[in-house]
Amino acid sequence: MALRGIVTVLNTPFTAEDALDLPGLRRNVQGAIRAGVAGFLVPAMASEVDRLSAAERRSLVETVIEESRGRVPVIGGASAGSDAERLARARELLELGCPGLLVSIPLENEAQYEREVRTLDDLGPGFLMLQDWDFHGHGLPVPLISRLFENVASFRCLKVEVVPAGVKYSEVLRATGGRLHVSGGWAVAQMIEALDRGVHALMPTGLHELYVKIDLLYRGGRREEAREMFERLLPVLAFSNQHLDLSIRFFKRLLWRQGLYATPRVREPLLPFDAVHERLADELIERVLGMIREVAGP
């Protein structure tokens, strides 16, 4: 699996009337590609996927595929509340042209989990990315991951979002001889650790120019410069990553301030975002915009 670098997870933009802001989405996709992202993931939790209608989800994916024009892969988020719905979403995403699928499957037992993975494999995706999501523990058993990798043809990627993520990266890479593509998501606040441990990609939201620059510096053998630049971002991530809802609000506000999204609107209910949050967010956004100008150069 050749996917390396930053795969950005797209926030869903809304107009003042709460409709999809598709021109804003196109601007974000264009800007991310110019910045050098390696791919897109849509829709996902950061896209407020549970607050989108089926038609909105479809329109979101269609727009990203159309705007990407094959320059980078668009991974379709097929996670759902039931097996049947997950399968239906997966079929639709493949019909729309997504080369790969991301799925989060609840683990009841290993036999059940493997059965559901094989059902998705039967659809013939270019690749299947399993989301190892567990904020209260260590997620999927490593022997199960290794067995699925060896026996399910399309399972080529794992997105690790467990506690702690770093150890899991290393365990999975070691168990699969580095052949399974491993990416990190929510643990982007430990980006340098993730790169030190050998992850192939990171899947954050926003900050395209900065994440890409840090990744390129690191992979180009300039770890110290990458670390210094990343540490300047840590106050931003300390604020935004307090909770997924706060992250959505912060990055939409950033995209709005960048002139990409028409509004910073979110779909309620999300956790409150009060005047103090707005002030702190705006201070951090000024930091981000200054760093982006530095990266862009004269």
Closest to 288 measured CA to CA, from 215, 239, 223, 243: 239
pLDDT of residue 91: 98
Amino acid (one-letter) located at 129: M
The answer to whether residue 148 is domain-embedded is: yes
Amino acid (one-letter) located at 238: A
Task: Give me the phi and psi of 157, to 5 degrees please.
Answer: -140, 145
Residues 6+ apart with CB under 8 A from 271: 243, 245, 246
The answer to whether residue 99 is domain-embedded is: yes
The answer to whether residue 277 is domain-embedded is: no
> In the chain, how many domains are there?
1
The answer to whether residue 280 is domain-embedded is: no
- Look up the CATH number of the domain holding residue 186: 3.20.20.70
* Mean pLDDT computed over 83-95: 97
pLDDT of residue 135: 86
DSSP state, residue 46 = G
Do residues 107 and 145 lie in contact, with contact meaning Cβ atoms separated by under 8 Å? no
The answer to whether residue 237 is domain-embedded is: no
pLDDT of residue 150: 98
Residues 6+ apart with CB under 8 A from 261: 11, 13, 21, 24, 27, 28, 252, 255
User: Which pTM does this prediction carry?
Assistant: 0.96
Angle among Cα 162, 163, 169 to the nearest 5 degrees reads 60
The answer to whether residue 90 is domain-embedded is: yes
Do residues 31 and 260 lie in contact, with contact meaning Cβ atoms separated by under 8 Å? yes
Q: What is the pLDDT of residues 131-164, one digit of tens each?
A: 999 988 899 999 999 999 999 999 999 999 999 9
Q: What is the pLDDT of residues 249-273, one digit of tens each?
A: 999 999 999 999 999 999 988 899 9
Task: Give me the phi and psi of 70, to 5 degrees please.
Answer: 75, 5
**What domain range includes position 200?**
5-221
* Strand partners for 6: 202
pLDDT of residue 298: 75
Q: What is the pLDDT of residues 220-255, one digit of tens each?
A: 999 999 999 999 999 999 999 999 999 999 999 999
Q: What is the pLDDT of residues 23-73, one digit of tens each?
A: 999 999 999 999 999 999 999 999 999 999 999 999 999 999 999 999 999
Q: Is the pLDDT of residue 1 over 80?
A: no
The answer to whether residue 242 is domain-embedded is: no
pLDDT of residue 210: 98
The answer to whether residue 197 is domain-embedded is: yes
Place of tokens 């849509």: 42
* Strand partners for 76: 42, 101
Q: What is the pLDDT of residues 100-130, one digit of tens each?
A: 999 999 999 999 999 999 999 999 999 999 9
Residues 6+ apart with CB under 8 A from 279: none
Half-sphere exposure of 14 (CA within 13 A, CB side): 18
